[in-house]
Copies of this chain bind each other. A is one copy, B any other.
Amino acid sequence: MNEPRLGLAAHSARRRAELVRAAYELVTTRGYRAIGVDDIVLRAGVSHGTFYNYFANKRDILDAVLDHCFDVIRERLIGEDAIPASLDEFRARFGRIVDRCYDLVAGEPGLVNFLLFEAASIDDQVIERVMHNAQIDGAAAAQEVGLGIEHGYLDPRLDTRIAGEVMLSVLMSALLAAVHSGSVGLTRERVRTQLTDFLARALGVEP
């Protein structure tokens, strides 16, 4: 009846994902400390005990929530852009990503706030987890830099790994700007222009 025919493993994975999803929504809206296992299982529609079949304890699900956060961020920011073939396309692509930062902050209120603000204060392992995810994205960014070098519009002398991290840092600035979009002189357009200019100057081949 319920979700008929599902391999046990698949069912289990779905259950787990439901719990993570529920926890994600609660954590980003109300904060990790403010919610209880009660809230999570209530929202997921399972019993108290079931939670402990999937996670060792409350802290344990936080890792999965953090991973989910980055999944959401990637999904929302990357988009389905074509691989840029010129510096202008590279610049345009990054400009769209900056715009998507604003959309992300608007569409998932609390997500960025949670990562920037509460997460780090939970414990040191959170920071490790965030770093771990940042490394994954850094590697992806490094790969894009590599492509850019191959296409000839990024400076071939760049260390792709470092350049990838710079790209992430700039993205971080965009997210920060989006969160504090009220701050002085930080219109969306200015942020987009300044950050894309910065990246193009910093990574592009010299003219």
User: 9 A–B contact pairs at CB < 8 A?
Assistant: A31-B121, A116-B117, A117-B118, A118-B121, A170-B185, A173-B183, A176-B176, A176-B183, A184-B198
* CB neighbours of A117 from chain B (8 A): 113, 116-118, 121
Q: What copy number does this chain have within its complex?
A: 4
- Interface SS of chain A: helix
We find that the number of chain A residues with CB closer than 8 angstroms to chain B is: 22
Contact with B along A13-37 (1 / 0, CB 8 A): 0000000000000000011011000
Contact with B along A182-207 (1 / 0, CB 8 A): 11111000000000001000000000
Contact (Cβ within 8 A) A169 B182: yes
A202 vs chain B, min Cβ distance (A): 8
* CB neighbours of A118 from chain B (8 A): 117-118, 121
Q: How far is the CA of A176 from the CA of B173 in the complex (A)?
A: 11
Tell me if A127 is interfacial: C-beta within 8 Å of chain B: no
Residue of A173, A180, A183, A184 ringed by the most chain B CB atoms within 10 A: A184
Q: How far is the CA of A177 from the CA of B85 in the complex (A)?
A: 34
Contact (Cβ within 8 A) B185 A173: yes
A136 vs chain B, min Cβ distance (A): 19
* CB neighbours of A169 from chain B (8 A): 182-184
